[in-house]
Every structure is written in structure tokens, then in C-alpha cells.
Chains A and B, each alone.
Chain A
Amino acid sequence: MFSSSTSRNDPRRFTGPDGAYSYHDILTGSTPGPTPQPPKSSMNIRPLFLKTGLLSNAQGSAYVEQGQTKLLCSVFGPREIPRRSDFSLKGVLSVEFRSAPFAHPRHRISSAFEAQPTEKELSLVLEGALQAAVCLHLYPKSQIDVYVRVLEDDGSVLAAAITAAGLALANASIQMFDLVLGASLCRKNDLILVDPTLNEELGASEGCDLDSEGHASLLTIGYQPSLDQLVAYQHEGIITVDQIDQDVELLMKKCKGFLPNVQCCLLESLKIQTKSHRQHE
């Protein structure tokens, strides 16, 4: 029989049998898990592929591929604030960050409609970043919805999501003070991995073991290149303030490094839009 067993707590979708587990769980048991990363700093952001305006329904959208990390962001609005809420002369941003059930290389992410705590937290981080970037005072009584879906997670998702959201907002012709770019790095003492993959990120959190020498940390920033402001900033793991200073500096440099890519992507879609607009006329 096809599993028609809709689980008790979520009758609105089909769920598999209880006690199902990923075969990767056994894989890691039999073979030595992820190949240990060679202790070599990597200072480069993985190849970036950016594209805006590929979804027709959204006011604006962006697709970002950063190495194997793939995500999609769409922007709706400004539209009327749906529920009755307090009058605000400022617009409201609502951000939802979710991962597709198949996004994680090892585990299936429960597709339950209730977001995971980490997803909720990332939504809030993203919201905080975009609130600083969008000219919300120009959108009284309205709401701008930003939805991010991770299609494949291979590390640095928050950074990629920040870049994608910035692109999607610009593509939606929402007024912003500046573009926003995201970048992250993983540090283990003096070993620095810019734009870490999932394995490297996991390595960082495993580096938190007492056995392993030294401290590991993971830092993500959201950066406005021309205003030189940090709109998002999130870090975990042991570090000193001086190291943070260096790392932030480095990441800002990296952001400026791929700024031309972001600009090119937007300009290209502007040119296409202008052309098609003229043809209509």
C-alpha cells in the first residue's frame, strides 16, 4: 500500500513510516565520514551564479548558486498589511526562510509546515538585515514579503540568502539605500576558510570539541558596499574581538570583490527589461 498514513499531527500532508532514517546515517558509520579537510586556508568565494527576474508571479526574484548551494528568493508587495494591526507609517517586512525537504545532502528536512527553530532564526536575521536596507518609510501601511527557499544546502546559506534577497528586492523595484551582499567565513585559529561548504561548517562546529586544538568559529555578515555598513552580523564559536575585527574586514573585502558580479546581473536584467518595455511601446 502507498503510505496513505497521514500522521496524526499533520493531516494535511502525507508522511512516511515512523522510524525511517537516512541511509547516510549508516554510511558514516561504516566508512570514515566526510573526508577531513586539508588544513589550508581558502580565501576565495566559490563560483557565483546570479540571475534575477526568473519568476513571473513575484514582484521580484533572484536565484543564487554559490558552489553547490542553490537558493531562490522572491519578493511580493508592497501590498496591504493583511491582518488588522497597528497603524504604521513605516512599511513592514515579513521574511520567511525555509529549506526544501531535499536540500540537505544527508538528512531529509521535515517538510512540516511549522518552521524549524534554525529556520525561524535565520528568517529573523534576514529580516533584521533587510529592514536596515529597505527604505521602509516610503511604504506606509504596506507589507513587503520576502520568501527564501533553499534548494540545496552546501554551506554559507545565510550569506547566499542575504545576497539573493538584496537582488530580489532590487529586481522588485523596492527602494533601498544600497545593495546588500552576504559573505561568511569559518575560522579555526589561523586557518581561515572563506565561503565554507557544509562539510567545512560542520568541521568548524566539530572543532568545538575539547580534543581538537584551538577554537573554531563561523561568521556571516551582510554588507552595504557603498554605505560601508553592516546590516547583518552573526557569529558563533569562540573568538577574540580582534579576530572578529580582522574577519569582518576580510569579509567586507570579499563582498566588494563580488560586487561587480551582482551589479552585472542587475544591469543585464535592467537592459532586458528596458528593451522589452520599448518593444511594447
Chain B
Amino acid sequence: MATVLVSETEKLYVLHGVQEDLRVDGRARMDVRPIVVETDLVTHTSGSAHLRLANSDILVGVKAELEATTPARPTEGRLEFFVDCSANATPDFEGRGGENLATEISQALARAYQSAHVFDRRQLGVLAGQQCWVLYVDILILECGGNLFDAVSMAVKAALSSTRIPKISVTAVDGGEPELELSDDPFDGAKLDLRSAPILVTLLRIGNFCVVDPTPEEEACASAGVVMGVNVQGHVTMTKKVGSGSFHQRGLIEALKNGTAIGVELNRQLLNKLEEEDLQGYQRPKFGFLS
């Protein structure tokens, strides 16, 4: 985690606040800061999204490319996550500084999306045993205002939901190699089924309590945390401990329960808003980074 310097007394103030369920910015332990999301901003991608959670600013672009299938899974496509912690976000990311965080986030996403029950990779299949779609999900962290796992995962889900996979027709030329034909119409694309796709929820343990959506200052006060992947059905798809501290079993399960509830609600709202945006159609005004 990119850590900010915080003095011992500031930490104490944060800690007592969490105990009292009144955090430094006035939130309760389970409150999330306002989130603003917009999709389809980057024209050269198959799908994209821009998400702002307080000061965390995330841009995600999805590119679909045709590639060879893997022998183990001939009917399925692939999802590849790549996180770029640019030095724009915080000077700590300069050089190789953001590398570990980037690995952690991309691996967490990969694990969260791994199960076929949350994201069916067969919707990316083209020609069994030969060609499939590979979705390259490029995540750019523009500003770092805490809680990156959650912000990134929501932006990823939004970007995937705006992704259109071009229609492909397979024509077999008299018994020889099959030929692929890509549709010319840019709007003639299939949407992905993201009804079960997860988002990540981070819960940090500060003192004896867990908080969601931590600010960078709160992140500096926490010793341990847990990141979990949750979908709208309330399934847990991935969990892992983050940070240098430890958990007691009870505390961990308590955190996971809270996280599931938050995750379901966030997922629900995100899906609703994305649907609302989708209904506005292609012609809706775009606000981009000035909003």
C-alpha cells in the first residue's frame, strides 16, 4: 500500500474515531465515500470507464483481441488484467515503487474473476480449439485517494459492462481452413454477461473494528485488512489478507460478513446506474474528466 506519513497522535485520533463509529470525515465505519462513474469515454477501446471515489481516480480501458486458444480450455477466451500505478497518482509510485501494489491488484482481480460462475469465459469463445477473444483490461490509476482495490474493481466492472464484442461469423471454405469474418458495423456487438461479476471490497482493521473504504490516512493506521471479491448474489469469489498484521478468526469472519453486505449493495447500485446510463443510449452527453 502506498503509505502516507501520519503522526502517532493523528493515528490515535483516527483509532478513537473508529471506536466511536464516527470517523475523521464524519462517516460511520461502514459508510462509503461518494462515487462517480462514467463509461465509454475512450473511443479507441472496446469498452472503458472512468471512476472517481473521493480522490481516487481510475481509468479503465478494455481491448478485445483475437488470439489462439489454450489447449486446456479450447472453448473459452481469456481475461487479462494489467494495472499501471503511474507516478501521476503519487510520487511513491515512481520507478518500480508501484509494482507490488500493481501485482497485488491485478492478481486479486484475476482471482476474483476466475470462477466460471462469476464470469463465463465461453462468451469469449470464437472457434473451438483455434480462436478466441482475449480481453485486455488496462487499468490506469490516475490519482490515489485510498481504497484502490475497491475503486479499481468497480471501474473494471463498469468498463466490462460497456464492452462490445464484435460479431464474428465463421465460414468454412469447402472443407479447408475455416475463415473468420468480422462485422463491419461498430455497433453490431454483443454485450458481456456481467450479472454475476464481482467487485472487490476492502476492510481494514483499525483497533478492534473494521472499516470500509479507508482514506489514505486510515490505511496508514491499519495493521491488517482483508480484500474480498463479492458479486451481487452475495457469493464470495476471492479473499486475501493484506497488510502486515494478523486476524483472529472471529474478527476475520465478522469482517467478511460486513464486506459481503457492502459488496452486494455496491454491486446492486453499480448495476442499476450502469443500466440507467445504458438506457440513455449512444447519444448521451459525455462529461469525461471535467465532471
Chain A residues close to B by CB (< 8 Å):
25, 28-29, 117-118, 120-121, 124-125, 128-129, 131-133, 205, 208-210, 215-216, 224, 227-241, 244-245, 248-249, 252
Contacts and interface: CB of A to CB of B under 8 A. Distances in A.
Given A234-B239, A241-B257, A245-B253, A228 B103 contact: no
Indicate the member of B118, B224, B226, B243 with the most A CB atoms within 10 Å: B224
B257 to A, nearest CB: 5
Contacts of A210: 116-117, 120, 122
A127 B248 CA distance: 18
Given A117-B103, A241-B257, A125 B240 contact: yes
Contact of B246 (A120, A132, A205, A239): A132
B71 A244 contact: no
B245 A132 contact: yes
Given A229-B248, A245-B253, A128 B117 contact: no
6 contacts: A120-B100, A125-B240, A210-B120, A238-B115, A245-B249, A248-B249
B236 A244 contact: yes
B253 A236 contact: no
B55 interface: no
Interface of B: 71, 100, 103-104, 106-107, 111, 114-118, 120, 122, 223-224, 226, 234-249, 252-253, 256-257, 260
B249 A252 contact: yes
A236 B246 CA distance: 19
Given A128-B241, A237-B115, A229 B247 contact: yes
A241 B234 CA distance: 9
A236 to B, nearest CB: 4
A237 B239 CA distance: 9
Nearest to A118: B107
Contacts of A125: 240-241
